[in-house]
Copies of this chain bind each other. A is one copy, B any other.
Amino acid sequence: MATTASRILCPTLSKRVMSATEAAALIPSGVNVGMSGFTGAGYPKAVPQALAEHIRAHRAQGENYRISVWTGASTAPELDGALAEVDGIELRLPYQSDPICRQKINDGKMEYIDIHLSHVAQHAWSGFFGKLDIAVIEIVGITEDGRLIPSSSIGNNKTWIDQADKVILEVNHGQSAGLEGMHDVYYGTALPPRRKPIQMTQPDERIGEKYLMCPPEKVIAVVETNAPDRNSRFSEPDEKSRKIAEHLLNFFASEVEKKRLPANLLPLQSGVGNIANAVLAGLNEGPFNNLTAYTEVLQDGMLDMLKSGKLAKASATAFSLSPEANQELADNIDFYRDRIVLRTQEISNHPEIIRRLGIIAMNGMIEADIYGNVNSTHVMGTRIMNGIGGSGDFARNGYLSVFMTPSTAKDGAISAIVPMVSHVDHTEHDVQIVVTEQGLADLRGLPPRQRALNIIENCAHPDFRPKLRDYFERACASGRGMHTPHLLGEALSWHQRFEETGQM
List the interface of chain A (C-beta within 8 A of B).
91, 105-108, 111-116, 119, 122-123, 126-130, 191-193, 195-201, 258-260, 262, 266-267, 350-352, 354-358, 373, 378-384, 388, 392, 396-397, 399, 422-430, 432, 444-447, 449-450, 475-476, 480-486, 488-489, 491-493, 495-496, 499
Task: Write out the residue numbers on chain B whose beta carbons fall within 8 Å of the beta carbon of A482.
Answer: 105-108, 382
Answer whether A130 and B445 are a contact pair too, CB < 8 Å, given A351-B355, A488-B495.
yes
Contact pick for A429, options B425, B447, B489, B491, CB 8 Å: B425
Q: Report the bound CA distance from A258 to B131 in whole Å.
A: 12
Q: Report the bound CA distance from A378 to B499 in whole Å.
A: 28
Main secondary structure of the interface of A (DSSP, over half): loop
Give, as a whole number of angstroms, the nearest-CB distance from A285 to chain B.
24
Specify the chain B residue showing the minimal Cβ separation from A484. B382
Task: Write out the residue numbers on chain B whose beta carbons fall within 8 Å of the beta carbon of A392.
Answer: 396, 427, 429
Q: Report the bound CA distance from A354 to B422 in whole Å.
A: 31
Q: Report the bound CA distance from A388 to B380 in whole Å.
A: 27
Specify the chain B residue showing the minimal Cβ separation from A108. B482
A-B contact pairs, 10 of them (CB 8 A): A111-B447, A193-B262, A195-B201, A350-B355, A382-B475, A382-B481, A383-B480, A384-B481, A426-B427, A427-B427
Instruction: Pick the 7 closest A-B CB pairs, nearest first.
Output: A192-B358, A383-B481, A108-B482, A382-B481, A424-B424, A111-B447, A384-B483
Please state if B492 and A488 are interface contacts (CB–CB under 8 Å): yes
Task: Write out the residue numbers on chain B whose beta carbons fall within 8 Å of the beta carbon of A480.
Answer: 380, 382-383, 499
Give, as a whole number of angstroms, the nearest-CB distance from A432 to chain B.
8
Give, as a whole number of angstroms, the nearest-CB distance from A407 to chain B.
21
Please state if A380 and B488 are interface contacts (CB–CB under 8 Å): yes
Task: Write out the residue numbers on chain B whose beta carbons fall within 8 Å of the beta carbon of A267.
Answer: 193
